[in-house]
Structure 1
């Protein structure tokens, strides 16, 4: 069974992007989807665009330009269409929903849906003024400086080590929200029923998810259905009506409307576009 909160659908132009990824150490697996890198080819080529679909996760990206590193952070709550440049290497951490809060203490309310710059906010703790600067970001600045001397795989291992240090120094105090997010991703029970099993009232669950994940329980369900549908459209030849039922939509019309509202294209158009890219690769 596909777990839409953890399975990867690689970019259609992964080879062009020099895309590489590393699955996290099992101690980080509840909160981290993968560590990744792109670019570093040094070639001047036409920039390409790629869609990034909402799943309530978050991305920490470190672009190693020749003059200075550019560090950005983004919570993924809407489909983003981004132009990707391969001339300079870029490394990053892809957090699952609630992962950035549990490991780094970052709250979605402090960020917009576009990439938020962090490179000027990694000074010593005594000099920090921004609400984004938490003790768990300590140690990132020297890690970023070392990335310039490493290849992509070495860099990903270094980022993983930094996360493990953060986990050891300040382990998450409450694992219930992670458990609920994972269970919602599996689409087995309604969120309120899941919350009740762990001692949350409906209102408490909604408030806690909104604060730590940045979305409502209903949005998490919608994102999980979208990701499961994307896998079904690419990995099977099932008709749309059958995929709709397997993913929890009422019927094909409901599926088409819900998919288009999040992905900005119909399921049929998504399948045609992605499959044509695969065949051309």
Structure 2
């Protein structure tokens, strides 16, 4: 008999001082009898993954147990977890990963510790491996971040303001920029590895995903409400970044089938 839900996912969205830097802490496990595939959405955020048990794969690239640095997510990535796998992680808001790690990864990258912070991540991996159950692991993540999360470089106010405007679908008004457009583009490339235009496209698809989950409105209405010129425009953008059509995404999240 198949498990009702072969993937068990625990999420915690921090409040207080961590909330400005950390989107979520999470613990995921695959059932002992079933492998799991799940899509990791693109949102220009980055993170740190702790692979605690088995060799997993991200976009078909295998990763053994250890700490994995996640790149800025420009599109959806396919995670494959063998039966019995256990993982945990922390997901940062856009640009925070660079501010903390002082580097960007082009692809998921196993951690080779060189700094005090990175050695502390390896110690956290050992602690997570020894702890039992999702609550204990989540508590370890939270306590570790409260002690160790520090910025090696602060996010420039101009970049933070631009990211906030894009996340709210306000767009970038050249008249309100405190630096030149070219300077802002350099900041985006340095901190996120994308242009402002690319960031806007990715964040619009992120908002569209939320709209599709929450609304039963016709797709054409959702397309127009999210600023697309028509449904076909939404479908092209959505499929390029989310790796599935809007219709396919709706079926997936409503449990009609599993991809």
In terms of fraction of residues, the more strand-rich structure is 2
Q: Give distance in 1, aligned partners of 2:30 and 2:235.
A: 38
Equivalent residue number for residue 187 of structure 2: 208
Equivalent residue number for residue 187 of structure 1: 169
- What is the RMSD computed on CA atoms of the aligned residues? 2.7
TM-score, normalising length: structure 1:
0.77
Q: Give distance in 1, aligned partners of 2:44 and 2:117.
A: 21
The answer to whether the Cα contact below 8 Å between 1:58 and 1:94 also exists between their aligned partners in 2 is yes
Q: How many residues align?
A: 246
Equivalent residue number for residue 71 of structure 1: 67
Equivalent residue number for residue 61 of structure 2: none
**Any idea what the Cα deviations from partners look like across 1:106-142, whole Å, max 9, x if unmatched?**
x22xx223x2111xx22xxxxx4xxxxx443242222
The answer to whether the Cα contact below 8 Å between 1:192 and 1:205 also exists between their aligned partners in 2 is no
Q: Give distance in 2, aligned partners of 1:14 and 1:163.
A: 33
Higher relative CO (Cα under 8 Å, sequence separation at least 6) belongs to 1
Equivalent residue number for residue 126 of structure 2: 145
Equivalent residue number for residue 102 of structure 1: 99
Query: Where in structure 1 are there 5+ consecutive unaligned residues?
Result: 1-12, 123-127, 129-133
Equivalent residue number for residue 45 of structure 2: 57
Equivalent residue number for residue 59 of structure 2: none
Equivalent residue number for residue 31 of structure 1: 21
Q: Give distance in 2, aligned partners of 1:221 and 1:169.
A: 25
TM-score, normalising length: structure 2:
0.83
Q: Give distance in 1, aligned partners of 2:159 and 2:52.
A: 34
In structure 2, do the counterparts of structure 1 residues 102 and 140 end up closer, same or farther at CA, with 3 Å as the change threshold?
Answer: same
In structure 2, do the counterparts of structure 1 residues 206 and 66 end up closer, same or farther at CA, with 3 Å as the change threshold?
Answer: closer
Deviation, 1:66, is 8.0
Deviation, 1:88, is 3.3
Equivalent residue number for residue 5 of structure 1: none
2:114 aligned with 1:117, yes or no?
no
Q: Give distance in 2, aligned partners of 1:80 and 1:239.
A: 27
Q: How does 1:1-281 map to 2 (within 5 A)?
A: 15-39=5-29, 43=32, 45-65=33-53, 69-75=65-71, 76-105=73-102, 107-108=103-104, 111-113=105-107, 115-118=108-111, 121-122=112-113, 128=114, 134-151=115-132, 152-167=134-149, 172=154, 174-188=156-170, 190-193=171-174, 197=176, 199-277=178-256
Deviation, 1:29, is 1.4
